[in-house]
Structures are given as structure tokens and as C-alpha cells.
Structure 1
Amino acid sequence: MPLSKAVIVPGNGVGDIQHCNWYGWAHKNINKIPGMTCLLKNMPDPVTARETVWLPFMEETLGCDEETVIIGHSSGAAAAMRYAETHKVFAIILVGAYTSDLGDKNERASGYFSRPWEWERIRGNVGHIVQFGSRDDPFLPWAEQQEVAEGLQAELHEYTDRGHFMNTHFPELIKAVHKLREAN
């Protein structure tokens, strides 16, 4: 199936998604790519980002399917990985991905970290896996970001100066979506 849609799944704690981080900027720029549609919607349960709420929303409301690239940032990356354990999607782009609840009560309550990651199942359900990570991320240890890259055999874009990717522009992301679109 060809790539025709991108869905941006934010990190937890996001209120108005259009005006947070690079989300609105990326939405606008992905929608300029011929043949692409990008969805950007406020997520239900935005603070805890519970798996039991977000995954059904991704399937039923955002329509993530075999023609979709899920762009997940932080908690959204965890959601994208768990979604891909049980659903076929064209691609996932993970921004600031990690593997544990980081000792945080809210992260633990999300449910994403309650069981081992099924790397092989994710790889089997996803055609392309791209990951962006930065060694200076103040929230995520590099070892966890590396564990995701190795487990998923991801195309890793490693930085030393991007923190948690909370800037307002993210041109490398748009290039990655273009590359996936051309890979059709």
C-alpha cells in the first residue's frame, strides 16, 4: 500500500497541539507534500496519555493503517511502538523514544511500560522505521534511545544538541517524510 497519510501523536502534557513544539509547523509542511494528508488532533487524556485511551483513538479517530506514517514524539513514540505491535502501518517515525517509565509515576500509569517490548512484532508490522534521538535529551537517557534503535533496527538520526526536540521547526522530519513518500 502507498504512503498517503501522516499522523502526529504528541508527547503527554500537550494542550493545544497546533501551537506546541513543532507539531503545527510539521502538519502544515507535510500537507504541502503532493499526495499526502497530515492529521493533527488534540489527544484525549493528554496528561497521562493512557495506552487504553490513545491506541483506540489512533485506530478509530486518526485512522492509522497501512497507508499511514505515525510520527510519535516522546509518549507519542511509545504509543506508536505499542500500536505497531498489533497493527500494520506503512512507517513509524519516533522522536525521543524510550523503553521504561523512567521511575515516573505518571509514565507508569500510562501502561506502555508494563510489559516487555515486542521488537520483532513491531518490525514485522511496519515497513519503515525512522528514529530521531539526541544525546543531550534532559528527560531520556541515551541508553534507552539506543535500545529502541537496536531493538527496531531503526534508521537512527543521532544528535548531540537537540534536547527533547521541543523546538518550533523540524526540517529533518519533513525530509524523512519526503523520503518515505518517494520510497512508495
Structure 2
Amino acid sequence: MSGEQFSPNKAVIVPGNGAGNVESCMWYGWAREKLGKIPNFHCLLRNMPDPITARESLWLPFMESELQCDERTVIIGHSSGAAAAMRYAENHKVYAIILVSAYTSDLGDANERESGYFNRPWQWEKIRGNCRLIVQFGSTDDPFLPWDEQQAVADGLGADLHKYTDKGHFQNTEFTELVGVLQKMLTTSI
């Protein structure tokens, strides 16, 4: 990215598919509230279009036009939201991406295949080039994602990997580690 110095001014939480009302789902609303208390920073959390299939053709334009993800945005993507964050960063400059339960293939699932994220190779170099920072949270006991897929994301992106053995698919109601990473990111970017 350019030598221009600026700090992020917002985070956008992109949920996993099938999340329902995102405000009351898992840690999303809790994180939005905590991050919204940071001075001169705001956090967006919206119900996504096509929430079950999470089609790339609908989610990426929504992230650009409605959520206005740009060079001062930290995109926090969970599960299929992590896939969306990675695909978005292939062609858009963002401040950072924080990936939670990220993966590289459709896992043999028809709904995942229909989303469109997994029909071509990942452009790791372009993603790295469009992000100042890349952080990843993964857990070896994730019931949906094999560890080798999560590790492939970390290796491809050179992500700052936070590896756990007991967080499953990060479906808890609070996520203090995520808030801590973002707060640290903000204090070191000033």
C-alpha cells in the first residue's frame, strides 16, 4: 500500500451465512457494542443480503456500496464472512482484515459451492498487497472446518494467526480476544 499514513476509522463485521438477525447472533452484536465505545471509531453490523447462501455476487457489492469498506476499514469476517473479506480484499484496498474461522474450499457442500467464493484460486498476493494487516483466528476443534484449510489461509496470507484448540467455530456470545486485537491495532496505528 502507499506510504500514506492514516488510521482505521471503522470496523465492519461480516457474519457467517445463516446467521439470522446478526444483532442477536453469537458475538456479533456484543463486539459491535464494545468496538463502538472506542473514541473516533465506529463499528457497522448489518443483516446481509442473501444470508443463507451468502452469494459473492451480492455480498461484495453490498460491502462496497452499503458498508463502504475502504482503506480506513477493518473488515471482520466470520466463516463465509471471512471468505467474503478475502475476496473483497483481492480487488479493494482496506486497512485490515480479521478472519475468524476462514477456509479455502467449498468443503464438498452444495450451498458453499453456490456462494461463488470457491470457484477459482485465491489471489493471496493481491490480498496481502491490499491490506496493511491480516489477523486470523482459528481453532483446531472447529466442527465444520478442517485445520489444514485454516492453516492454508494463514500460510497463503502470512496472517498473524491466533490458533486455539477449544473455540470450535467461534459461535460464543462474547469474543474478548477479537476486541483486544482490534484495540491493539488502533493504538499501534496512531
TM interval, short-chain normalised = over 0.9
* Pairing 1:1-184 to 2, within 5 Å after superposition: 1-184=6-189
Q: Which aligned segments of 4 or more residues in structure 1 are displaced greater than 6 angstroms?
A: none
Q: Matches of 1:116 and 1:147 in 2, distance apart?
A: 12
Q: Matches of 1:91 and 1:31 in 2, distance apart?
A: 17
- The letter for the 2-side match of 1:125 is N
Q: Matches of 1:176 and 1:56 in 2, distance apart?
A: 27
Give 1:179 shift: 1.1
**TM-score after normalising by structure 2:** 0.96
Deviations 1:80-99 (A, max 9, x none): 00000000000000000000
The root-mean-square deviation of aligned C-alpha atoms, in Å, is 0.5
Q: Matches of 1:19 and 1:49 in 2, distance apart?
A: 19
Give 1:33 shift: 1.1
Q: Matches of 1:32 and 1:176 in 2, distance apart?
A: 15
**TM-score after normalising by structure 1:** 0.99
Q: Matches of 1:14 and 1:161 in 2, distance apart?
A: 21
Give 1:182 shift: 1.2
| Structure 1: unaligned runs, 5 residues or longer | none
Give 1:35 shift: 1.5
Q: Matches of 2:73 and 2:184 in 1, distance apart?
A: 14
Give the paired residue count: 184
Deviations 1:81-121 (A, max 9, x none): 00000000000000000000000000000000000000000
| Structure 2: unaligned runs, 5 residues or longer | 1-5
